[in-house]
Amino acid sequence: MFERKKKFKFTAILLILTVVYGLYALYVLFAHNPSFELLSKNTISYSGLKAKIRSDKTKISFISVSLGTEDNSLYTIYTENDLNPSIQEKVIDIPLSEEDKAVKFIKKNKLKTLYLYYTIKYENKFFNSDINKKIRISIDFEPPSIKSVKTDSYIYLGGVGYVIYETSPDTFSSYVDSGLEINFYPITIVKDTGISNLVFFSCGNSPCKDGKIKIVAEDLSGNSLVYIKKMKTLRNKVWKSSDILIDLDFIKNKYNEIFKSNIESVSVENFLELNLALRKENNLEILDNTRNITESKVTLGRFYQMKNSKVFSRFSEKRNYLFPSIENPLMTTYHWGYDLSSIENAKIYPSSEGRVSYVNKEGLGIYGKTIIIDHGLGFYSLYSHLSEITVEVGAIVSSSDVIGHTGQSGLAFGDHLHFGTYLQGVPFDSSEVWDNKYFRQKILTIYNNFIQKNSAKGISDSVKKKNYKK
Ligand SMILES: [Zn+2]
């Protein structure tokens, strides 16, 4: 009797354990499955296909992707064996070209949609299993179009140029690549028939690369079209080059002031830390704060050079630094602005009306106390080496408002204003905007005509986009 009871109890426990274990196995089977997510908006284009695969606590051993019709998988475009079993997430990138059999098949049959098949073999705690699924995708091999390209086809060395063009409604993003590391984005007006674009651009302090600019338009599927436009650079000026013998005492004091340290003599490393590494870091911060076309309601207006000021250093001057008793020059820099001298502690007025978009009262490294003003349309002005700043970020200022006083904060030799103008992050020669006749002709009138001509037909939509190409 006692024996039977014990046996019964044992069987019951075993049964419960088996059921629990079985339920757990079923849970694992159904709850933990690899997933496949198409990142290309369920569209296939020449930029190929991109998908994200997640293992969800399983071990994936095999992935294959193919294309075909609703009933048949026809062309394998991706396979991978021997995956690292510890992989939790993987993005697969499958490029396509006109030479691919699948692309030829699509074109030959003029297909508008297609099926993507995928197989994932995996293993969880209990089973080996696989997933076989298909996704309906649409086909887009058509890049956006670019037409009605208008420009006066020239730019002054260090100056600003413009180009106007229309892109088709499927355009997601367009920009001008002038051969710099930074792209220039348009001011856009969206219409039913397409998008009107105006881009102000710069080629830096050199002639436009290969005498041309590229207009690039991209759609959401990743198709892109490049339109090449010839762009002549008029070399109406020559950048000055000068040798600067480093004054070690001056550098020592500035080094200690800027880095809040207490060195007694300046080594080559100290000098490079200040004039090379910190300069680079400061220029990146300026780039970050001048690269966007913001939606500030400021209208671009006339620019003035600081009242009663004398120019003593111009844009793009090349400076060769000579360090005492070593092989020279140690390094060279370009001067991304104008140095303007006036009386000591002179009042500073904005060069043009705008919105104060950056204030650094502690000091921006070699630039010292600095203000940046956003003038709209991607144009900015910068004021450095100040002794005092009397505005805050967000203030709307006109050219009759005092924003600060000149000084010698940062790496400045004597009281002066370092003034710079920037277009979408790229410094350009301020003489272009100080020359009112030229400014009106090349920038303001172009913009006003563009708005007038297009806004009657559509809705103005100023575009903000990242223009970093790192
Ligand atoms: Zn300067």
How many residues does this entry show for the chain?
A: 470
Question: Phi first, then psi: what are they for 244, rounded to 5°?
Answer: -120, 115
Using a CB cutoff of 5 Å, list residues around ligand 1, an ion.
339, 418
Q: How far from 234 is each of 160, 207, 239, CA to CA, in Å?
A: 12, 8, 13
- Nearest Cα neighbor of 308 from 351, 345, 339, 341 is 341
The proportion of the chain whose per-residue pLDDT surpasses 90, expressed as a percent, equals 66
Q: At 44, is the pLDDT very low, low, confident or very high (cuts 50, 70, 90)?
A: confident
CA of 419 relative to ligand 1 center, distance in Å:
7
CA–centroid distance, 413 to ligand 1, in Å, is 10
State in Å: Cα 299 to ligand 1 middle.
Answer: 27
Of the listed ranges 85-89, 366-370, 404-408, 435-439, the one predicted with least confidence: 85-89
Q: Distance, CA 283 to ligand 1 centroid (Å)? A: 13
pLDDT of 466 > 50? The answer is no
Burial environment of residue 140 by CB neighbours within 10 A (0 to 12, 13 to 18, 19 or more) = buried
For residue range 276-317, what is the model confidence (pLDDT) as tens digits?
A: 999 999 999 999 999 999 876 667 889 999 988 999 999 999
> What is the secondary structure of 239-294 as a DSSP string?
--EEEEE--HHHHHHHHHHHHT---SS--HHHHHIIIIIIHHHHHHHHHHTT----
What does the pLDDT average to over 376-402? 96
Among 139-148, 156-165, 173-182, the minimum mean pLDDT is found in 139-148
C-alpha 242 – ligand 1 centre gap (Å)? 14
Q: What's the pLDDT at 155?
A: 95
Between the ranges 70-84, 204-218, 441-455, where is the mean pLDDT highest?
204-218
| CA 371–ligand 1 middle distance (angstroms) | 14
CA 331 to centroid of ligand 1, rounded, Å: 17
User: Which amino acid is located at 198 in the chain?
Assistant: L
Distance 208 CA to ligand 1 centre (A): 25
Q: What is the distance in A from the centroid of ligand 1 to the CA of 106?
A: 59
Average pLDDT over residues 129-153: 91
Q: Give the model's pLDDT for residue 99.
A: 85
Whether the per-residue pLDDT at 56 is higher than 90: the answer is: no
What pLDDT score was predicted for residue 26? 75
Buried b (16+ CB within 10 A) or exposed e, 307-320: eebeeebbbbbebe
CA of 337 to the centre of ligand 1 (A): 6
- pLDDT for position 351: 96
| Ordered DSSP codes for 82-126 | S--TT--EEEEEE---TTSHHHHHHHHTT-SEEEEEEEEEEE-SS
User: What's the mean pLDDT in 63-77?
Assistant: 91
Looking at residue 304, what is its pLDDT?
95
Kindly state the percentage of the chain with pLDDT values over 70: 95
Q: What pTM, to 2 d.p., does this model score?
A: 0.80
**Distance from the alpha carbon of residue 350 to the mean position of ligand 1, in angstroms:** 17
Average pLDDT, the chain: 90
Both tokens assigned to 46: 């020449």
Residue 202 confidence class, pLDDT cut points 50, 70, 90: very high
Rounded CA separation 410/341 (Å): 16
- Tell me, in angstroms, the distance from the centre of ligand 1 to residue 216's CA: 35
**Separation of CA 453 and ligand 1 centre (Å):** 40
For residue 464, pLDDT beyond 50? no
Asked if the model's pLDDT at residue 97 lies above 60, the reply is yes
412: CA distance to ligand 1 center in Å? 8
216-247: per-residue pLDDT in tens? 999 887 889 999 999 999 988 889 999 999 99
Query: Tokens standing for 351?
Result: 């060069």
Cα three-residue angle 335-235-166, rounded to 5 degrees: 95
**164: CA distance to ligand 1 center in Å?**
33
Please tell me the distance between residue 292's alpha carbon and the centre of ligand 1 in angstroms: 23
Q: Tell me how far apart the alpha carbons of residues 395 and 371 are, in angstroms, rounded to a whole number.
A: 12
**Among residues 148, 447, 86, 147, which one has the least CA distance to residue 300?**
447
What is the Å distance from ligand 1's center to 57 Cα? Answer: 58
Residue 199 Cα to ligand 1 middle (Å) = 28
Q: pLDDT band at 461, cuts 50/70/90?
A: very low
Residue 327, C-beta contacts closer than 8 angstroms, at least 6 positions apart: none
158: DSSP letter: T
pLDDT at site 435? 94
In this predicted structure, the answer to whether residue 1 has a pLDDT above a threshold of 80 is no
Q: How far is the CA of 394 from the centre of ligand 1 (A)?
A: 25
CA of 382 from ligand 1 middle (Å) equals 11
